[in-house]
């Protein structure tokens, strides 16, 4: 399935386990799945996560400064969880929601 | 700096980015009225009007030419957007998104109906019957429609301050609009079809924004907008133009004649300005919301008046200047808003 669906669909799908995920971990996983290994690819995926949060489908439950440069040194990392609205949109997107 | 401060700063950056996209949209949209006006005087569209006027009358000639121009405008926009997506490496994402018709693409195709044959064709009809200055300001009410629908359909949060900004922009737009209408009424000639075109533009773009906002929840804006224009071009070339041709309008003859250097340059200019204005519009929605994106995007009315003055020597009336100043003021009311900790636009 990986790589076959639009990026935001897959992002929502990854969050449908209702667990909290750090954005940098999700970005790394997506980069591998979609073969988007450049810095542009990384930022583009992170931007999609930001848009999902901005649209109310994900919400940040914890933040920390990226001291070690796991994503970008000095940047804020966010731990996101799917919202109820996100679940509804996931179902709309025909994701198998468990 | 503590985390709270950093979060605030990050949020502010995100909002500023959204406002920047919306402002780009306004400037490019304003420039678009230059090729949008010139194209009417470029072969074969000028002779097409004369030919249809002789057989079907001036009003039908304007509508038929507006349709053919809109259809070519959609094609050149697609060309500009394909270059943009190629540059961003998003063809793969486009294919993936197109395949997801039911949950995703259908929203863009639906948006293309309202944005295309209703808004853009309406706008070209307004340009053809009345003029670009009028067409530009006639659609200024569209953010009200977009904001109200976005709130009704998916509960988009619009702050009191954002509403205030939108209202000031609308008052500015109405000042420009009513000023022009009064001049026309006093001169005794009112182009009703042109006004209907203006209304089509306002309604169409407002509804399109709200529908597109739904699709953009789960699609990337660069890709979404391209699908939206593929939809629009299909409506023109597969449905409307063949219907016009069947009832006796020489649509395909003039479509072929449009492949001349001058026409291609002007249409290309229209495609580039409109395509990238739309990209900016769609990119601003997920960041600042449909209401604010459309509110700032509305500065296109003022930009159009400025560009029409600079490049086409069309001198604006005092009502246009007063209304334009109100539009700028309203946008500043919105931009200066303290976004605080609000992370989502949907009130989560």
User: Is A13 a member of any domain?
Assistant: yes
Three-state secondary-structure class, residue B220: coil
In whole angstroms, give the CA distance from residue B136 to residue B134: 5
Q: What is the mean pLDDT of chain B?
A: 85
A8–chain B Cβ distance below 8 A for any pair: yes
Q: What is the DSSP string of B223-270?
A: HHHHHHHHHHHHIIIIIIHHHHHHTT--HHHHHHHT-SHHHHHHHHHH
CA distance A77 to A46: 10
Q: What is the pLDDT of residue B261?
A: 95
Chain B 208-227, CB below 8 Å of chain A: which residues? 216-220, 223
Residues of the domain holding A43 = 2-91
ipTM of the complex: 0.86
B6, B92, B344: residue with CB nearest A53: B344
Tell me which residue in B6, B218, B343 faces A6 most closely, judged by beta carbons.
B218
Query: Do the Cβ atoms of B220 and A6 come within 8 Å?
Result: yes
Residue A96: inside a domain, yes or no? no
Q: Residue A70 domain-assigned?
A: yes
Q: Provide the CATH number for the domain around residue A36.
A: 1.10.10.10
Tell how strand A76-82 and strand A58-65 pair up. Answer: antiparallel
Q: b vs e for B249-260, b when ≥16 Cβ sit within 10 Å of the residue's Cβ?
A: bbbeebbeebee
In a domain, A10, yes or no: yes
Q: What residues contact residue B53 under an 8 Å CB cut-off, 6+ apart?
A: B61
User: CA of B236, closest CA in chain A: separation in Å?
Assistant: 28
For B269-308, what is each residue's pLDDT tens digit?
999 999 999 899 888 877 887 777 878 888 888 888 888 8
Compute CA distances B341 → B5, B15, B113, whole Å: 10, 11, 37
Residue A35 has pLDDT above 80, yes or no: yes
Which has the higher per-residue pLDDT, B91 or B322?
B91
User: In the beta sheet, which residues pair with residue A81?
Assistant: A59
Of B96, B218, B287, the CB nearest to A89: B218
Asked if the model's pLDDT at residue A24 lies above 70, the reply is yes
pTM: 0.85
Q: What is the DSSP string of B262-312?
A: HHHHHHHHHHHHHHHHHHHHHHHHHHHHHHHHHHHHTTHHHHHHHHHHHHH
**Residue B295 C-alpha from the chain's centroid:** 12
Task: Please report, for chain B, how many H helices and E strands are present, in that order.
Answer: 16, 0
Is A16 inside any structural domain? yes
Number of domains in chain A: 1
Q: Is A55 part of any domain? A: yes
Summarised one tens digit per residue, pLDDT across range B184-205 is: 677 766 677 888 888 898 899 8
Asked, for residue A34, whether it belongs to a domain, the answer is yes
C-alpha B139/C-alpha B122 separation (Å) is: 10
Q: Are A55 and B217 in contact (CB under 8 A)?
A: yes
Residue A97, in any domain of the structure = no
pLDDT tens, residue by residue, A75-92: 889 999 999 988 888 876
């Amino acid at each position: 399935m990986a790589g076959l669906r639009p990026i935001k669909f897959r992002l929502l799908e990854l969050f449908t386990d209702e667990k909290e995920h750090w954005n940098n971990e999700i970005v790394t996983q997506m980069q591998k799945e979609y073969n988007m290994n450049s810095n542009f690819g990384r930022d583009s995926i992170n931007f999609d996560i930001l848009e999902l949060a901005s649209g109310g489908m994900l919400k940040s439950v914890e933040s920390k400064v990226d001291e070690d440069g796991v994503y970008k040194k000095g940047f804020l990392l966010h731990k996101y969880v799917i919202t109820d609205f996100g679940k509804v949109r996931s179902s709309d997107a025909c994701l198998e929601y468990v | 700096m503590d985390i709270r401060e950093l979060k605030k700063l990050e949020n502010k950056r995100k909002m500023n980015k959204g406002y920047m996209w919306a402002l780009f949209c306004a400037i490019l949209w304003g420039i678009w009225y230059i090729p949008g006006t010139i194209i009417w005087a470029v072969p074969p569209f000028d002779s097409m009007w004369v030919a249809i006027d002789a057989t079907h009358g001036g009003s039908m000639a304007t509508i038929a030419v507006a349709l053919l121009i809109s259809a070519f405008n959609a094609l050149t926009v697609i060309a500009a957007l394909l270059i943009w997506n190629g540059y961003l490496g998003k063809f793969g994402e486009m294919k993936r998104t197109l395949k997801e018709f039911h949950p995703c693409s259908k929203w863009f195709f639906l948006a293309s109906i309202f944005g295309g044959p209703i808004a853009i064709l309406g706008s070209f009809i307004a340009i053809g019957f009345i003029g670009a200055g009028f067409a530009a300001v006639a659609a200024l009410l569209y953010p009200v429609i977009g904001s109200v629908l976005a709130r009704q359909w998916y509960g988009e949060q619009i702050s009191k301050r954002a509403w205030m900004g939108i209202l000031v922009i609308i008052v500015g737009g109405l000042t420009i609009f009513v000023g022009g209408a009064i001049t026309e009424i006093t001169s005794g000639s009112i182009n009703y079809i042109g006004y209907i075109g203006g209304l089509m533009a306002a309604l169409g773009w407002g509804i399109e924004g709200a529908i597109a906002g739904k699709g953009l929840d789960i699609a990337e804006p660069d890709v979404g907008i391209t699908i939206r224009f593929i939809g629009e071009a299909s409506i023109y070339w597969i449905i409307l133009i063949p219907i016009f041709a069947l009832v006796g309008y020489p649509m395909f003859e003039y479509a072929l004649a449009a492949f001349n250097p001058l026409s291609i340059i002007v249409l290309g200019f229209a495609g580039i300005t409109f395509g990238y204005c739309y990209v900016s519009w769609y990119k601003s929605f997920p960041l600042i919301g449909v209401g604010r994106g459309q509110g700032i995007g509305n500065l296109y009315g003022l930009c159009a008046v400025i560009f029409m003055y600079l490049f086409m020597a069309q001198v604006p009336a005092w009502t246009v200047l007063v209304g334009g100043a109100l539009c700028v003021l309203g946008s500043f009311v919105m931009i200066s808003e303290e976004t605080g900790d609000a992370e989502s636009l949907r009130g989560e």
